[in-house]
């Protein structure tokens, strides 16, 4: 029986995929954690924990490196909530242009005006006029799952769309509409865009990327949309730019103590992925990936270990070894099996950054003695008998 713990509410349609070999528990030995935005940085990482699945895209709430060091594979669900976010970004483009939020707030103030309301509406509406997005330039930073869908949708609405992504994948490039052009430098996005939408992960290299220097390169009155993470924006720089009008609107899905008070901010309470469709898609993907890893050792969509797939074990036993990506590991692992006179029918060894994963299908039962010997190799952080 595998024990699963959830740290956020996870969509039921996904959880129901867990077979009768799984139970959702509160404590005890946990095999895998499934979560959304729960901040896991200080969460205890027990010996028995094998996997953490983020039902969503961003993994900055998970201690990914610390997990790798303990042989805990961290998964996410790429693209599963991208449409939900894209649709809210389109709403953000329109809200930042047409002052929809301010206008609705004003309309509410007319509630006691009775028969006068239609007249007051016509008299007051010019205060809320705003430009159309058609024909304006949208610069997208990060052409991944969300960036590409947003680029294509905005292009469909008549915007001129330019995108920047120095690591653009072939998969995403193939999905990009031909009407969207890519630029080679981020400075081109800053200098040419009427609207800028940021769709990059929060990592050291992207933290504070929208700051005094980048804002100085932008058009006067630019509108900035952030549906990625609060920390991508330097709050002091944004506050100043909104005060001066250099940035005319800031739409954020990640309000914080500073941005919530800024002039011309449109603050949304992290609703990008909060659609039934996105929640179900993410949960289904996360649960399937966890079951595949726990039952077969196969890794799909990990952010700290290499993806690896050997199907279902056809031999007597499968052993999975999580280890450092350093020389001489495979030969040490296979020597131990040879010393025990065990034939390897099939094996795979893959690496990703500092970490690697080796799976071996062997023709004899695995023994405690072999596992202990493998665990003692310097650089091995976890050994599991899959079957």
206 touches, from ligand NAI, ligand HPV, none (C-beta below 5 to 8 Å by class): ligand NAI
Residue nearest to ligand HPV (CB): 56
78 touches, from ligand NAI, ligand HPV, none (C-beta below 5 to 8 Å by class): ligand NAI
Provide the strand spans (E) within 212-362. 222-226, 247-252, 265-267, 317-324, 344-352, 355-362
36 touches, from ligand NAI, ligand HPV, none (C-beta below 5 to 8 Å by class): ligand HPV
* Binding string, residues 29-58; x marks residues near ligand HPV by CB under 6 A: -------xx------------------xxx
Based on CB atoms, which residue is closest to ligand HPV, 71 or 79? Answer: 79
Q: Are 125 and 104 in contact (CB under 8 A)?
A: no
Instruction: Tell me the pairing of strands 317-324 and 380-385.
Output: antiparallel
266-to-17, 187, 242, 271, 354 alpha-carbon distances in Å: 38, 25, 12, 13, 41
* Binding string, residues 7-26; x marks residues near ligand HPV by CB under 6 A: --------------------
Based on CB atoms, which residue is closest to ligand HPV, 58 or 255? Answer: 58
In angstroms, rounded to a whole number, what is the distance separating the alpha carbons of residues 138 and 160? 6
Based on CB atoms, which residue is closest to ligand NAI, 282 or 362? Answer: 282
Cβ-count burial 182-196 (b if 16+ within 10 Å, e if not): bbeebebbbebbbbb
In angstroms, rounded to a whole number, what is the distance separating the alpha carbons of residues 289 and 78? 12
Based on CB atoms, which residue is closest to ligand HPV, 162 or 198? Answer: 198
Based on CB atoms, which residue is closest to ligand HPV, 253 or 292? Answer: 253
Structure-token match 């969300």, residue found: 146
Q: Are 97 and 129 in contact (CB under 8 A)?
A: no
Integer distance in angstroms from the first to the last C-alpha of the chain?
Answer: 13
37 touches, from ligand HPV, ligand NAI, none (C-beta below 5 to 8 Å by class): ligand HPV
- Give the footprint of ligand NAI on this chain (CB under 6 A): 56-58, 78, 81-82, 85, 141-147, 164-168, 172, 199-202, 205-206, 227-229, 253, 270, 272-273
Q: Are 145 and 172 in contact (CB under 8 A)?
A: yes
- Applying CB under 6 A, the residues found at the interface with ligand HPV are 36-37, 56-58, 81, 273-274
């Amino acid at each position: 029986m595998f024990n699963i713990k959830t740290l956020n509410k996870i969509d039921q349609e996904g959880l129901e995929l867990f077979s009768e070999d799984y139970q959702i528990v509160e404590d005890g030995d946990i095999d895998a954690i499934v979560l959304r935005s729960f901040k896991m940085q200080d969460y205890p990482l027990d010996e028995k924990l094998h996997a953490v699945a983020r039902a969503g895209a961003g993994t900055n709430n998970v201690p990914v490196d610390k997990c790798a060091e303990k042989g805990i594979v961290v998964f996410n669900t790429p693209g599963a909530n991208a449409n939900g976010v894209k649709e809210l970004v389109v709403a953000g483009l329109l809200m930042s242009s047409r002052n929809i939020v301010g206008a609705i707030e004003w309309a509410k103030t007319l509630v006691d005006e009775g028969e006068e309301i239609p007249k007051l509406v016509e008299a007051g509406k010019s205060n809320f006029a705003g430009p159309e997005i058609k024909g304006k330039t949208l610069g997208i930073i990060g052409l991944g799952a969300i960036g590409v869908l947003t680029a294509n949708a905005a292009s469909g609405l008549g915007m001129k769309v330019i995108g920047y992504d120095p690591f653009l994948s072939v998969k995403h490039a193939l999905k990009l509409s031909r009407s969207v052009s890519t630029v080679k430098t981020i400075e081109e996005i800053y200098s040419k865009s009427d609207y800028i939408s940021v769709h990059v992960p929060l990592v050291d290299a992207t933290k504070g990327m929208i700051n005094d220097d980048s804002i100085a390169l932008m058009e006067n009155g630019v509108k900035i949309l952030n549906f990625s993470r609060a920390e991508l924006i330097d709050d002091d720089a944004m506050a100043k730019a909104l005060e001066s009008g250099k940035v005319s609107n800031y739409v954020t899905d990640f309000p914080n103590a500073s941005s919530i008070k800024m002039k011309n901010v449109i603050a949304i309470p992290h609703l990008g992925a909060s659609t039934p469709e996105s929640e179900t898609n993410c949960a289904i993907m996360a649960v399937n990936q966890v079951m595949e890893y726990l039952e077969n050792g196969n890794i799909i969509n990990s952010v700290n270990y290499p993806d690896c797939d050997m199907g279902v074990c056809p031999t007597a036993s499968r052993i999975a070894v999580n280890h450092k990506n350093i020389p001489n590991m495979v030969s040490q692992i296979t020597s131990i099996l040879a010393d025990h006179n065990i034939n390897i029918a099939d094996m795979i060894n893959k690496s990703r950054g500092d970490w690697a994963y080796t799976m071996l299908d062997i023709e004899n039962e695995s023994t405690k003695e072999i596992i202990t010997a493998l665990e003692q190799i310097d650089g091995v952080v976890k050994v599991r008998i899959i079957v």
